[in-house]
Chain A
Amino acid sequence: MLSTYLPALVFVALGAVVGGSFAVLNQVLGPAKSKLVATGDPYECGLPSEVKQGFRFGISFYLIAMLFILFDIEVVFLYPIAVELRAFGTFALLETIVFVVLLMVAFIYVWRRGALEWK
């Protein structure tokens, strides 16, 4: 059974070979690394760079990530029941509807509380 996954391993290995060689090709084929200090500066337009590690970012990104976990689990749970829906018939259908309606209640709550508004 696991032998059906063998090509996936081959693809990952081939991707690693190509990706890995692209990551170091410049060192091999390109001219030597420039001695100029300015080439080590991150991109900036006009002003001198003020870059420090540990940026801060908006809380909205964090909220979206939490909502993603909730709704992606909904998707993952729907896959197995979608495969077997015909076999189980009305019973599975009712279960699915209850499941989705519960999640939609949560979705409407999140929406009404303004978590989906981008600030």
Chain B
Amino acid sequence: MSPILAVVGYAEPWWIAILKSVIIFAVALSMVPVVLIVERKLLGRFQGRYGPNRVGPMGMMQPLADIGKLITKAPFRPTTSIGFLFILAPAISMITAVAAFAIIPFGNVVDIAGTPVGLYGIDVGIGPLYLFAFGAVAFYGIMLGGWASGSKYSFLGSMRAAAQLISYEVAQGLSIVGVIITAGTLSLTEIVEAQEGMWYFIPQFVGLIVFMVASFAETNRTPFDLAEADAELVGGYNTEYGGSRFASYFFAEYLNVLIVSGIATTLFFGGWLLPFGIDPPTWVDPIVVLVKMFAFVFFFIWVRATLPRLRYDQLMSFGWKILLPIATLNTLITAIVVVAID
């Protein structure tokens, strides 16, 4: 059997696998409203205002009120739209975002009531490739949605999104090759274990920078939210969407932010490991991962409050002429150093 397809993760009996998937899914689902309210509160503070503070204690129920409002809207779609694709596209975004969440490891295999259970959705020998596969399908959610709307704003938004997503996918893919060379495996739990001595953001600092910049572009976040560009394209690919279908896109976007945060945590910041040789009991592991993830989410919001949006030609030339060469050089230098040390 070739090493790249080798079994790495521990596979539980099928009923445990299904049970833990449902639990991780429930956690993911309940984290999105938290990210929403944290973002709106923080953006308010960054801009010297209160943010939402009417619904529930300190406005904490605002996301639930928003979802309730969105799902009780009247259904509508433009007469120019292509009905089947128009309805399918937001669901594609949702499916891919949920499926990609399975890859984030919250801990290694632990013993729960005498049964060993891996604290991750899946841990397979293709690791990051699983993530990129679903990322590539998520592209169809945005592309088809904008194209099937039959509106020029949506169409332009989706064309921009398509070019932006594929351009930055190359840099994102290359930026983690350095990590894979250093760890010598594609399994995410093994990559975390390999960071026991030193977290990879120190030797792979360039890789981390490229990965984060490309991730901002991949999740359509400011300063790379050219696909939405409210000032010129109204709402980009989701101009014609409203109600629960819009909620679907919105949800997928924030889930993607969480996924990227989780991957950055896993690949560069030691996953569930703690520095200075602190070794807490295993039930702390998921909490450590969640805290690190929310640190990244804070970083996303911070950048959104700080940086203005780029121009489209600047975006494309930045991705191809700066990020791609840097990521390639990082890969080569890492390879040379690793072989030289061996």
Contacts and interface: CB of A to CB of B under 8 A. Distances in A.
B332 interface: yes
B170 A71 contact: yes
Name the prevailing secondary structure of the B interface residues: helix
Contacts, number: 241
Contacts of A64: 163, 166-167, 316
B338 interface: yes
Given A26-B243, A117-B317, A8 B170 contact: no
Given A72-B170, A75-B173, A61 B159 contact: yes
B339 A85 contact: yes
Contacts of B20: 7
Given A10-B18, A11-B102, A43-B153, A5 B317 contact: no
A25 to B, nearest CB: 4
A79 B78 contact: no
Nearest to A33: B75
Given A10-B22, A26-B244, A78 B331 contact: yes
Interface string A48-90: 0001010101001100110110011011101110111110011
A64 B324 CA distance: 14
A19 B79 contact: no
Contacts of A82: 177, 180-181, 331, 335
A31 B96 CA distance: 30
Contacts of A24: 87, 244
A42 B153 CA distance: 9
A82 B331 CA distance: 9
B72 to A, nearest CB: 5
Contact of A23 (B91, B123, B325, B339): B91
A72 B317 contact: no
Interface in B134-175: 149-155, 159, 162-163, 166-167, 169-170, 173-174
A10 B17 contact: yes
A83 B186 CA distance: 7
A33 to B, nearest CB: 6
A23 B224 CA distance: 27
Given A15-B96, A15-B99, A23 B248 contact: yes
Contacts of B288: none
Contacts of B21: 7, 10-11, 14
Interface string A91-103: 0110011001000
Interface of A: 1, 3-8, 10-12, 14-16, 18-20, 22-27, 29-34, 39-45, 51, 53, 55, 57, 60-61, 64-65, 67-68, 71-72, 74-76, 78-80, 82-86, 89-90, 92-93, 96-97, 100, 104, 107, 111, 116-118
Given A5-B124, A64-B167, 19 more contacts: A4-B123, A10-B22, A14-B21, A18-B94, A20-B91, A22-B244, A23-B91, A32-B74, A42-B81, A43-B153, A43-B234, A61-B163, A82-B180, A82-B331, A82-B335, A86-B339, A97-B332, A111-B320, A118-B317
11 contacts: A1-B7, A7-B20, A18-B29, A19-B90, A22-B248, A26-B75, A39-B76, A60-B163, A67-B320, A75-B173, A111-B321
